[in-house]
Chain A
Amino acid sequence: EAGVTQFPSHSVIEKGQTVTLRCDPISGHDNLYWYRRVMGKEIKFLLHFVKESKQDESGMPNNRFLAERTGGTYSTLKVQPAELEDSGVYFCASSQVIQGRRFFGPGTRLTVL
């Protein structure tokens, strides 16, 4: 069974540009989560989808971040416009049920110059 996949693995952009990260959860997992880790810090929760609905977006830093999960399958996280402090590794995770263990993808390393 394929795990959680994320694309791209790395992205380097200039401040002010737009970047879109993609996550494909494990097939059949209704719950999808986005997390971010800034270097040396904790893995911080951003938001949680149940199917296509946002269950909890309390961790989203500001309105420059937009997450979507159309059709309840893959999800995208767009940062527009990107700022220097947005640099970090963005992880996606999925679980079959909300109480279930999270399975993480390999992450997208975003560098904003």
Chain B
Amino acid sequence: DQQVKQNSPSLSVQEGRISILNCDYTNSMFDYFLWYKKYPAEGPTFLISISSIKDKNEDGRFTVFLNKSAKHLSLHIVPSQPGDSAVYFCAASAGTSGTYKYIFGTGTRLKVLA
């Protein structure tokens, strides 16, 4: 049973507009969430993270929102650029487990159209 779900396999957005990528989780023990970006033939690279004590974290054009009651997080990219076209993975971990194991979603392929 998947604990981290990304229900949209793909998303297309016009350059300059906002991209919103969504992620849902089921395990209430998760306390740290991350987004990784992956280009073809490369490994995932860290993008942004958020701890469960916060509901928003911002880094330049990227903002992650966390809604703990809904067990939902989202990544906003504003403005979207063609170079943002990649697969985005949501991941979660539970520090209380002691292992800090990352549980990933299936990814959302973002295409930013010029």
Chain A interface residue number, banded: 20 to 34
Query: By the criterion CB–CB under 8 Å, are A43 and B101 in contact?
Result: no
User: A56: which of B9, B89, B95, B101 is its contact (CB, 8 Å)?
Assistant: B101
Chain B residues in 8 Å Cβ range of A44: 104
User: A102: which of B2, B9, B102, B103 is its contact (CB, 8 Å)?
Assistant: B102
Query: By the criterion CB–CB under 8 Å, are B43 and A105 in contact?
Result: yes
Number of B interface residues in the complex (CB < 8 A): 24
Residue positions of B touching A, CB distance < 8 A: 2, 4, 9, 34, 36, 41-46, 49, 89, 91, 95, 99-107
Query: By the criterion CB–CB under 8 Å, are A48 and B104 in contact?
Result: no
Query: By the criterion CB–CB under 8 Å, are B101 and A104 in contact?
Result: no
A113 CB, nearest partner CB in chain B, Å: 21
6 more contacts with CB within 8 A, not counting A91-B43, A99-B100, A101-B49, are: A42-B103, A42-B106, A42-B107, A48-B99, A98-B99, A106-B41
